[in-house]
Amino acid sequence: MSQYQEKATVTRVEQFSEKNYRLTLDCPRIAGCAQPGQFVMLRVGPGKDPLLRRPFSIHQTRADGRLQLYFKVVGRGTDILAQKRPGETLSVFGPLGRGYRLDATSPSVIVGGGLGIAPLLFLVKENCRLKNDCSKDLLVLGAREKIELEPLLADFQAFGLTIHTATDDGSLGHRGFIIELMQSLPLPAGCTVYCCGPEAMMAVVSSLCRSRAIPCQVSVESVMACGMGACLGCSRPAANGGYTHVCLNGPVYDAEELLWES
- Residues that bind ligand FES in the complex, under the rule CB under 6 A: 224-227, 229-234, 245, 247
C-alpha to C-alpha distance for 99 and 84, rounded to whole angstroms: 27
Which of ligand FAD, ligand FES, none interacts with 74 (beta carbon under 5 to 8 A by kind)?
Answer: ligand FAD
Residue 4 burial (CB count, 10 A): 16
Closest residue to ligand FAD, based on beta-carbon distance: 75
Q: Among 56, 101, 93, 74, which residue's Cα sits nearest to residue 252?
A: 101
HEC profile of 205-230:
HHHHHHHCCCCEEEECCCCCCCCCCC
86 versus 229: smaller Cβ distance to ligand FES: 229
13 versus 225: smaller Cβ distance to ligand FES: 225
Which of ligand FAD, ligand FES, none interacts with 33 (beta carbon under 5 to 8 A by kind)?
Answer: none
Rg over alpha carbons for the chain, rounded to the nearest Å, is 18
83 versus 183: smaller Cβ distance to ligand FAD: 83
Which of ligand FAD, ligand FES, none interacts with 147 (beta carbon under 5 to 8 A by kind)?
Answer: none
CA angle 64, 94, 234 (to 5 degrees): 145
75 versus 241: smaller Cβ distance to ligand FAD: 75
Write the binding mask 70 to 89 for ligand FAD: x where contact by CB under 6 A, - elsewhere. xxx-xxxxx-----------
C-alpha to C-alpha distance for 31 and 64, rounded to whole angstroms: 9
Interacting span for ligand FAD (CB under 6 A) from 27-35, 64-72, 123-131, 183-191: 64-72
- The alpha carbon of 36 is separated from its chain's Cα centroid by a whole number of angstroms, namely 8
Q: Does 91 interact with ligand FAD (rule: CB under 6 A)?
A: no
200 versus 232: smaller Cβ distance to ligand FES: 232
Which of ligand FAD, ligand FES, none interacts with 107 (beta carbon under 5 to 8 A by kind)?
Answer: none
C-alpha to C-alpha distance for 252 and 98, rounded to whole angstroms: 6
* Shortest separation between residue 97's beta carbon and ligand FES, angstroms: 9
Instruction: Check if the beta carbon of residue 102 is closer than 8 Å to that of residue 126.
Output: yes
β-strands 66-72, 20-26 pairing: antiparallel
* Shortest separation between residue 184's beta carbon and ligand FES, angstroms: 37
Which of ligand FAD, ligand FES, none interacts with 226 (beta carbon under 5 to 8 A by kind)?
Answer: ligand FES
Q: Which of residues 104-143 bind ligand FAD (CB under 6 A)?
A: 115, 118
Instruction: Check if the beta carbon of residue 195 is closer than 8 Å to that of residue 112.
Output: yes
What are the residue ranges of helices labelled H in 26-158? 28-31, 76-82, 120-131, 146-157
- Name the helix (H) or strand (E) containing 74: none
121 versus 247: smaller Cβ distance to ligand FES: 247
Q: Does 144 interact with ligand FAD (rule: CB under 6 A)?
A: no
β-strands 138-143, 20-26 pairing: unpaired
What 8-state DSSP symbol labels residue 256? G
72 versus 210: smaller Cβ distance to ligand FAD: 72
C-alpha to C-alpha distance for 181 and 196, rounded to whole angstroms: 16
Would you tell me which residues interact with ligand FAD (CB under 6 A)? 39, 54-57, 70-72, 74-78, 115, 118, 221-222, 224, 251
